[in-house]
Structure 1
Amino acid sequence: MLYQGDSLTAQLLDDGIVELQFNAKGSVNVLNLATLQEYKNAIEAIAACDAAKGVIVTSAKSAFIAGADITEFTEMFKTPDEKIAGVFKSSSDIFDMFEDLPVPTVAAITGFALGGGCETALVCDYRVADTTARIGLPEVKLGLMPGFGGTVRLPRIIGVDNALEWMTTGKPYKADEALAFHAIDAVVAPENLRESAIKMLQQAIDGKLDWQAKRQEKLEPVQLSEIEHIMSFNTAKGMVAAKAGKHYPAPMAMVKLLEKSVLLNRTEAMLMENQAFGMLAKTDAAAAQVGLFLSDQVVKGKAKKAAKSVDKKVARAAVLGAGIMGGGIAYQSAYKGTPIVMKDINNKALDLGLSTAADILNKQVERGRLNAKKMASVLNNITPSLNYDSIKGSDIVVEAVVENPEVKASVLKEVESFVSDKAIIASNTSTISIDLLAKSLNKPERFCGMHFFNPVHKMPLVEVIRGKDTSEETIAAVVAYAASMGKSPIVVNDCPGFYINRVLFPYLAGFSQLLLDGADIATVDKVMEKEFGWPMGPAYLLDVVGLDTANHCTSVMADGFPTRMAQIDNDPISLLVNDSRYGQKNGVGFYEYSKDKRGRPQKVLSQDSLAILAAVAKQGAEFSNDEIIARLMIPMVNETIRCLEEGIVASAAEADMGLIYGLGFPPFRGGPIRYLETIGLQEFIEMADKYAHLGEYYQVTEGLREMAASGKSYFSSDVKKG
């Protein structure tokens, strides 16, 4: 054994071949600082071994290397960018050391080789992958760029245009795709990987492969003519600007880096990468996107823990109500492999539910993402039914009938008489109290809320709502079922609006008041979309949700929080609903909806709606972008803090992911709590205090003032009161 570490070993095999094997103590190989130091030690041991003729890099895991350990680098990212650049120079120097070994090297790639794992493979002279391999540089998804030499080596291996595509999209590529890019040199069956990699290495040792020439290409400037250089980077800048926009600096930063660094040798280009990485790591977008990744890990971790704790997994499901929502739930369950009964009281509804599922599947077939066989199997997993006998064998029944407490209570009571005592009953309600609905059941401990978001197949979030009598076994089983459906479940406690709608409606109330104070609808939508980053401005969002639905929910929230969420006088939403303006569902709301000559949907501001609002709103007022953002976002952030303090949502990580997955909160801002902490707690308080006269929505909690005074973070503090 040339070297023995905790995460990797270097062993001299027959014929002078050294195997450098990554084998971390955990389930996957990751590159943390300790592993990088071991990597350096192993390289030095190989360099000192006179018998070494070549090196094969392998993994003892089912995956090569998953990437860098981002959890270890988050605190370092808060240091000055010069220090960050220094740390990454020390790390990239290690990769250069390996690349400079005086013998040929081959990487044997299985499973994921992402980020730092891909960069570990790129330093080798040759790369052999098996058919399970997934290779890529996904750092852009964290608001970062490759930091171990990826920006230097990849364009010299696969060409500038291809490298820009890989790095600015962050897409992982299958082995055959990577081979087509020439990112790897061969693809083999998993059982042949080691043998094939050793054979290639032996050919290089024997001089049958010119590994020195292949390596030299990675050390020199890229050979581009001046015209090629201008065309490549001008095209890339245009595409990245159009797709990424101003809120995501990482893609453009990589384009601008490569524009200069491809003209330099490895040493000079690597220094530029180190410096660029340091600057990018300090951006708010990087902090938010890294935070988002870590918060997502919290949510996924809880779902995995729940799945492990469940004695009996959901093998058969049922959904009651076969409308668009019921059809979406049936589709999602069936698509992910859990057979489901779709029960309704008439065939017309069942036809709508089945057509909803079929339409989703047909679109996937048309786009080449699904074949006819898979489509048939999904549809066969959905059993339409008009009677309750069909649900008797279900492990879970999800009620998705009309949003009316009396109707839901009646249906739930009926359901309980048909299912076994161990079957779980859940309600897909967006506003109705779970404790109220539970009163209709004899066994409320096996009942909870399971709030899906529309359209079900696109929205990742499922709110799992715990009632006061809901058992932990029930919660765990529903979380596990939601995760098996490909969803991100977040457990919240019962309250009016639960979590997502509870924090949404203060935002919408802020919008209504802003309109009454004279703000222009189109301007507000534009600011909240283009400047803040929401996928839809508040007026457009209300039209999509349905103004009548929003108006109903507003009254529910007002009943639940009569002082803070009382409906305002002359509420624009109510005024439009009273004039039968419901939004997209009937073609007119804040906007009017139609189709252009090509059949594409289009919207224009409704002049009639403007006239209705003009009768009650101030005229001619102007608001800055910052004012518009503050007046809408302060209420949302304040309500999120209240939900944390009341224990409605368990953690800042889940609070952030809930709005990211449920409402489309701008990912580059990381969620409401990350947004708050990016502004600064004290700075947010000072901003909110300027608007405190507008009402309780804008008045911060004493808990927030205490957090600001103590200098603590919501991500490391339990702020639940009582």
Structure 2
Amino acid sequence: MMDALNDLMQRERCYGPFRQQDLEQPNEGPWQHWRLRRDDSEVAWLLFDQQGQSANLLGSAALRELGDVLASLRREMPRALVLRSAKASSFCLGADLHDFAAVDNEADAVRQLVDAHLLAQQLIDLPCPTLAVVHGDTLGGGLELALCCDMRLAAPDARLGLPEILVGLHPGLGATARLPDLVDPLLAMRMMLSGKPLKADAAAQAGLLDGVAAEHALPKLIDDAVNGRLTLQRRNLRARPYRLDWVRRLAAIGLQRRADALVDPAHYPAPSALIDLWRRHGGKPDLMLHREIYSFARLLASGTTGNLIHLFFLRQRLKAEAAPDPRRRANHLHLLGNSPAGVELAALAAQRGLKVSIGDQQAMTPCIRQLAGSEDLQAALDRLIFDPEHHGAALADALIDAQTGDLEERRAKLARLEPQMRPQALLLSLHDALEPLRSALGDAGRMLGVRFAGPVQRGALAELASHSTGRTISQQHARQLLGQLGCLPVAVSSQPGLLLRRVLAPMLLEALLLLEEGHEASAIDQAALDFGFDKGPLALLDDWGLADSLQLFEQLHSERDTPPIEPPALLRNWVEQGRERIRPNPAGRWTLPGRKQPRLPAEEGDRMLLALLNSAVRACRQGIVADDEMLDAAMTLSGHFPAFRGGPLRYARSCGHAALIIRLQDLSQSQGPRFAPDPGWTPAEDSEAGQG
């Protein structure tokens, strides 16, 4: 009862002189993105309400208008200023990355940042009290805008963070100086280095917020703040030691060590740039504000940031394509079988609020184990139903085929259960090969394949495979179901290896050839790690399993359209001997302690990379995926290609197709026809080279 009452109170947000009906009408004021009105006590209420958007972004147009708003306030100064968002779900999600993507060079970035800093200073210099009242996500530039106000209040659902590091940047509107001066400097640095937001209570405890209250109690708290009755804690004693250069230098060493353990500074320079900025100038906030501009501009002009911003837009595109339809939300899944991916999918569905019936006793225990640590464990457990008779197949929105073992038994079970299924229910198989299964079905149009690129969890990338008789509406519903689970589906054609393994296979085969030629396994994997891959090709083969890898390589070799080479004899011998891994001990080291790390010659490492790039061009030409951007998205978001390089096809464009074609032709003469350039290559414009 109290929870329902609290939800009702949260729904009606406090907007001062504005009524909810006013916000539902078009903005009739002089500005498109801001609404300004004064209440009876001459307090100005400024609502951020970006036109045509469901959430606010602090873009160039909104900043220009904010300058006009502040000028109007200076002409007729109010008694106080209250800054809020008119959007129901959030305060501000940060800067508009489209503006960042449009910046051509470092000098333009500096000019824009100087203008933004001058605007922030105008808000700081207003002689009247200024108060930011935030709710929901308050991120990036939105939090930096709130930091320019004298006081900050929040609703309990507020999340405050600075996620710029995720696109290769650090804060650029003053937070690098203002946040460490307000809260514990090490907490401020951790917030900026990790990008993780703080919940409202934690932010208040840290001193970032001056008060947290439910919406029905905010008017009283706002009135206290405006009239000077709010007690402010501004003695940031933790900041004092870090104003000494030697203290910051010592702290910076630890921060840099932890940052280097997570990312290579040569590939992702933003953490090092932020730490260096704080180490050098953290004792002089005014100087740090000035140097922040130039540090941010250098990062913005880098290839890493350009690629990470591009990847951000690709992720948004996948989310939009998988946006759940509120008119057709899935409520029930039925799990058939007990494969690890099926168990993980069932657990994720229960966490996300779906009822899950499980037909196999062997799947129940690991599924319950997967749910351990869930925020609302009991509710998730209540959604699991043991259903050995498979009654849930008649009620489910999707039947998940996670069976293992004999193909004929799997076909027979699907044939028995299919007549019970609802007409619009989906049948999602967690296996590559759809052809042997779909022939057992009366309605194969509802069947699709799903392969997750890694552990099945929120945010995981999933390949969604369709076949020649699949229905378009079923594909759409499957995308929406995966989107409802928080996953990122990429539509691919149902071919051996689908997309990811198909593209990676030639690189892995080349690594095996290098191993056969006498190069050390550690050197082969290290060459890939040096390029930026998360995992070396031989380590990836261990993850796939040698027998499964051999089967895939043989399937690909049997194709007519430019197949990869025949699997090396080395791999066949290992499989015949029953060997499961290249490394006998998964946790062991490749080399003995103290031994000098062997290095692979650069030209040999190029063989692996060019094999992958040639394979990526081939997959795009063959129509395995919709377009080159979706291929790049799948490869990078799955962790199979360095994110800072933007994806294999974007990286190839940055190198120049003509140059890569020449290198492939040279290799085809020295190594054999497997390196013959695919017909899908097109010479790129010279101006494209070097931009990635």
TM tier, smaller: 0.7 to 0.9
> 1:221: how far off?
10
TM-score after normalising by structure 2: 0.88
Q: Distance in 2 between matches of 1:415 and 1:293?
A: 41
Q: Does 1:119 align with 2:118?
A: no
Determine the structure 1 residue equivalent to 2:365: 355
Change (3 A) 1:504 1:406: farther
- Aligned-residue Cα RMSD (Å) equals 3.1
> Within 5 Å, which residues of 2 pair with 1:106-505?
106-203=131-228, 224-246=243-265, 247-266=267-286, 268-304=287-323, 307-308=324-325, 312-344=328-360, 350-351=361-362, 353-362=363-372, 364=373, 370=374, 374-402=376-404, 406-430=408-432, 432=433, 434-457=434-457, 460-505=460-505
CA distance in 2, matches of 1:510, 1:429: 26
- CA shift in 2, pair 1:263/1:470, >3 Å: same
CA distance in 1, matches of 2:471, 2:55: 34
Give the one of 87, 97, 107 matched to 1:70: 97
Q: Give the CA deviation at 1:85.
A: 1.3
Tell me, in whole angstroms, the C-alpha distance in 1 between the residues paired with 2:275 and 2:135.
29
Equivalent residue, structure 2, for 1:367: none
Given residue 72 of structure 1, which amino acid in structure 2 is its aligned partner? Answer: D
| Residue type of the alignment partner of 1:692 | S
Structure 1 residue identity aligned to 2:333: A
Classify 1:88/1:201 alpha carbon distance in 2 versus 1 (closer, same or farther; 3 Å).
Answer: same
SS of 1:440's equivalent in the other structure is coil
Alpha-carbon displacement from aligned partner over 1:456-481 (angstroms, at most 9, x marks no partner): 34781221111111111111111111
Superposed displacement of residue 325, structure 1: 3.0
Change in Cα spacing, 1:551 to 1:59, as seen in structure 2 (3 Å) is: same
The amino acid that maps onto 2:342 is G
Residues 119 and 149, structure 1, Cα contact 8 Å, conserved in 2: yes
User: 1:559-598 maps to which residues of 2 (within 5 A)?
Assistant: 559-561=558-560, 563-570=562-569, 572-583=570-581, 590-593=582-585
Contact 2:339/2:404 (8 A) holds in 1 = no
Q: Which amino acid aligns with 1:602?
A: A
Give the Cα–Cα distance (whole angstroms) in 2 for the partners of residues 282 and 714 of structure 1: 10
Secondary structure of the residue that 1:177 maps to in structure 2? helix
Alignment correspondent of 2:556: 557
Q: Is the 8 A contact 2:457 2:487 kept in 1?
A: no
Q: CA deviation at 1:199?
A: 2.5
Q: Could you say if the C-alpha distance between residues 311 and 11 of structure 1 is closer, same or farther in structure 2, counting changes exceeding 3 Å?
A: closer
For residue 338 of structure 1, report the CA deviation from its aligned partner. 1.6
Please tell me the residue identity of whatever aligns with 1:319: L
Report the counterpart of residue 547 of structure 1 in structure 2: 546
Whether contact under 8 Å (2:458, 2:486) holds in the other structure is no
Change in CA separation of 1:114 and 1:311 when aligned onto 2, cut-off 3 Å: closer
What displacement does 1:695 show? 4.5
Q: Percent identity?
A: 23
Distance 1:127 1:708, change over 3 A: same
For structure 1, the residue ranges without an aligned partner over 5 or more in a row are: 345-349, 365-369, 584-589, 594-600, 608-620, 716-722
- AA aligned to 2:418 is E
Distance 1:435 1:665, change over 3 A: same
Contact 1:528 1:629 in 2 (8 A): yes
Larger deviation, residues 380-389 vs 112-121: 380-389
CA contact (8 A) 2:459 2:486 kept: no
Tell me the secondary structure at the aligned position of residue 519 of structure 1. Answer: coil
Matched, 1:4 2:2: no
Measure the CA separation in 1 of the matches of 2:546 and 2:231.
69
- Whether 1:510 aligns to 2:495 is no
Q: TM-score, normalised by structure 1?
A: 0.84
Q: Which residue of 2 aligns with 1:587?
A: none
Return the alpha-carbon distance in structure 1 between the equivalents of residues 241 and 656 of structure 2: 44
Instruction: Report the count of equivalent residues.
Output: 656
| Distance change (3 Å), C-alpha of 1:404 and 1:478 | farther
> Per the alignment, do residues 458 and 148 of structure 1 end up closer, same or farther by CA in structure 2, a change over 3 Å counting?
closer
Q: CA deviation at 1:711?
A: 5.7
- Whether the 8 Å CA contact 1:64–1:117 is kept in 2: the answer is yes
Query: Contact 1:71/1:294 (CA < 8 Å) preserved in 2?
Result: no
Q: Deviations over 1:539-591 (max 9, x none)?
A: 22212221111112222222335752242442x322211221112xxxxxx21
| Contact 2:117/2:173 (8 A) holds in 1 | yes
* 1:705 has 2:682 as partner: yes
Q: Deviations for 1:648-703, whole angstroms, at most 9, x for unmatched residues?
A: 21133321222234354333233223333343434433443332333455333344
Contact kept, 8 Å, 2:656 with 2:686, in 1: the verdict is no
Classify 1:41/1:681 alpha carbon distance in 2 versus 1 (closer, same or farther; 3 Å). farther
The aligned residue for residue 43 of structure 1 is 70
Aligned mates of 2:672, 2:398 — CA distance in 1: 43
Unmatched segments (≥5 aa) in structure 2:
1-16, 18-27, 593-597
SS of aligned partner of 2:221? helix
Of the structure 1 ranges 289-298 and 496-505, higher mean CA displacement relative to structure 2 is found in 496-505
Q: 1:462 touches 1:487 (CA, 8 Å); kept in 2?
A: yes
Query: Aligned partners of 1:291, 1:411: CA distance in 2, in Å?
Result: 44
